[in-house]
Amino acid sequence: MADPFPGIEIADARVRLGYRTVLDGLTLSLTQRRIGILGRNGSGKTTLLRLIAGLIPAAAGTVRVEGFDPYTDRRAALSAIGILFQNPDHQILFPTVEEELAFGLAQKGLSQAEALARANAALQVETRGHWAKAPVTSLSQGQRHYLCLMSILLMAPRTILLDEPLAGLDLPTQTRLARRFASLPQRLVTITHDPATVQDCDRVIWLENGRIAADGLPGEVIPDFTAEMTRIGAEDADADLAG
């Protein structure tokens, strides 16, 4: 089922990092509610997410989220897009939980008092009111991940980008987060190297060397991806020293 919000349109995009072309000639129209982007390490998945979020520009081509360029229109991006990084410590900026939650709201124009009040109300709804004054460093990895998700949800974006959202977490935490993701009304774009993470998506895109290797339903794309990863894994391909 298509999402009621305008989609993400990428046309002939190229991204270079240093001297390396990471994405090349990428064209995608993303309108489904649950989209998985599957690929092995180094395939360009995280670069694609950062491109959609407006954190990096395209060297060529265009990126439009709900009709605007997320790199040049950062104010519009705040309302339209949230991104949950794989490592919460790359995302957290403030020493206490309530300060971290209030930051994004203050960016949207709320006073600090209003932002803190809304942050504390959200913690109460989540039955985590006792977290408010806690140092972020006192939280577990899974709890910090959840804190970052709460920060994003307070901003009420219409699309959330998830970067390996279940990697490195224990099974109970994975289960809790997966359940929460499934309940969200937002469009979710999930990147991962794990086919199980995207098996319930409406659409799966397999990215390989910065290009689209396959694009379709999970039942069409995942078996081909798994077979190719199995084939590559059977080779001793990493034995040679880098040039």
Residue 237 has a pLDDT of 58
Q: Express each pLDDT in 189-238 by its tens digit.
A: 999 999 999 999 999 999 999 999 999 999 999 999 999 999 888 876 55
> For 70-102, how does the pLDDT look when each residue is reduced to its tens digit (9 = 90+)?
999 988 888 899 999 988 888 888 899 999 999
User: Residue 2 has what pLDDT?
Assistant: 45
Vertex 100 angle, CA 168 and 54, to 5°: 75
Q: Reply yes or no on whether the pLDDT at 108 is more than 90.
A: no
Task: Say if residues 198 and 36 touch (Cβ distance below 8 Å).
Answer: yes
pLDDT per position as a tens digit, 143-177: 898 899 999 999 999 999 999 888 888 888 888 88
Residue pointed to by tokens 């349109």? 9
Average pLDDT over the chain, rounded to whole? 89
Region of 44 on the Ramachandran plot (φ > 0 left; ψ -120 to 50 alpha; else beta):
left
**What pLDDT score does 17 carry?**
86
More confident residue, 215 or 239: 215
